Amino acid sequence: MNKNYKQAIKYHKKFFSCAKLMEDKVGMALAMNRIGINLFNYGQAEESINFHHQNIGLTDQENAFAGLYNLGISYRKIKDYNESITYFHEALKWALERNVFHFD
């Protein structure tokens, strides 16, 4: 399957600009997340970190899991294991505080 991450990044940046014009903070956060994911998949994990941080800065605490987890993955990819563990821990803490695990 041919994935065109570069084009996806371009379109998500346009999406971000539109969301920003409309002052749509949820749309802006979603765009930052998608740009970060596409950069990571395009082989630019280090650059993706900036966008995942922006995602976390724009999102509310109830939706922070994806950004935290994606930071853990991105830092692991660039072999910054201390930062990776920090963000994986934050993602786990987020999930435990919201009781998202159901072991019935």
pLDDT tens digits, one per residue of 26-35? 999 999 999 9
What's the CA gap between 101 and 81, in Å, rounded?
25
Please check the confidence at residue 12 and state whether its pLDDT lies above 50.
yes
| Residue 104's pLDDT band (cuts 50, 70, 90) | low
pLDDT of residue 14: 98
Buried b (16+ CB within 10 A) or exposed e, 47-81: ebbebbbbbbebbeeebbbbbbbbbbbbbbbeebe
C-alpha to C-alpha distance for 16 and 28, rounded to whole angstroms: 5
pLDDT tens digits for 44-54? 999 999 999 99
Q: How far apart are CA 73 and CA 77, in angstroms?
A: 6
In order of their start, the domains of the chain are 5-97 (1.25.40.10)
Q: Would you place residue 36 in the very low, low, confident or very high pLDDT band (cuts 50, 70, 90)?
A: very high
Total-model pTM: 0.90
